[in-house]
Amino acid sequence: AQKVTQAQTEISVVEKEDVTLDCVYETRDTTYYLFWYKQPPSGELVFLIRRNSFDEQNEISGRYSWNFQKSTSSFNFTITASQVVDSAVYFCALSEKGDSSYKLIFGSGTRLLVRP
Amino acid sequence: KAGVTQTPRYLIKTRGQQVTLSCSPISGHRSVSWYQQTPGQGLQFLFEYFSETQRNKGNFPGRFSGRQFSNSRSEMNVSTLELGDSALYLCASRGLGTDTQYFGPGTRLTVL
């Protein structure tokens, strides 16, 4: 069965620290997509990144970077030099495609608190 | 481009009532999906609509239903509300040929 596990429920860091959010997934599909979303207190899920199963290159976008490793079924997210504005709940998700429809399977989320 | 919009943002109902939530996707997007978010169950997929047809449905009772109009706007309806239906309901839209879903701000439903 498809499953996404975010074992870290809450992480608290001091501003400017680096922090890594872990994501482990399970799927039987050979073609799949992984996502990270950020949910600030306002509630809206903000799209951060999409990675397909054939592209294991790491990606960096400003202070954000993602490490995708198929061998360990992990798609971890690192924030470098964290800022207070990074405080939010972060969700990792796996896209399950079936019969031309797309369904996201979410992990339980990691609440990140960045203290000044 | 304007993002996904959802109305209303907040709603309070009592048990047994029904409710209709609305979602307008990003212009040009024809796929709309709905998700329920609760503290206990997390984010769960409700259903997806594409070109006015339901493409997929999550594991929810028949009290949860939806539809999509020709302009891609979507509504979801919950009948005979229960306390456990209190949740944040999120709508997401997706463009053709992509699987990235963009979410709206959500409708927070409270059932008393």
pLDDT tens sequence across B57-73: 999 999 999 999 999 99
Distance spanning both ends of chain B, measured CA to CA: 37
Whether the CB of B105 is below 8 Å from some CB of chain A: the reply is yes
A101/B94 CB distance under 8 A = no
**Among candidates B6, B3, B1, B2, which has minimal Cα distance to B90?**
B6
Quote the percentage of chain A above a pLDDT of 90.
76
Whether the CB of B56 is below 8 Å from some CB of chain A: the reply is yes
Tens digits of residue pLDDT in A37-83:
999 998 999 999 999 888 888 888 899 999 999 999 999 999 999 99
d(CA A90, CA A6): 9
**What residues of B are in contact with residue A32 (Cβ under 8 Å)?**
none
**Residue whose pair of structure tokens reads 């259903």 in the numeric block:** B47
A43/B108 CB distance under 8 A = yes
B105/A101 CB distance under 8 A = no
Instruction: Say if residues A4 and A25 touch (Cβ distance below 8 Å).
Output: yes
d(CA B58, CA B46): 5
Whether the CB of B60 is below 8 Å from some CB of chain A: the reply is no
Q: Which of A7-16, A90-99, B46-55, B69-78 has the lowest mean pLDDT?
A: A90-99
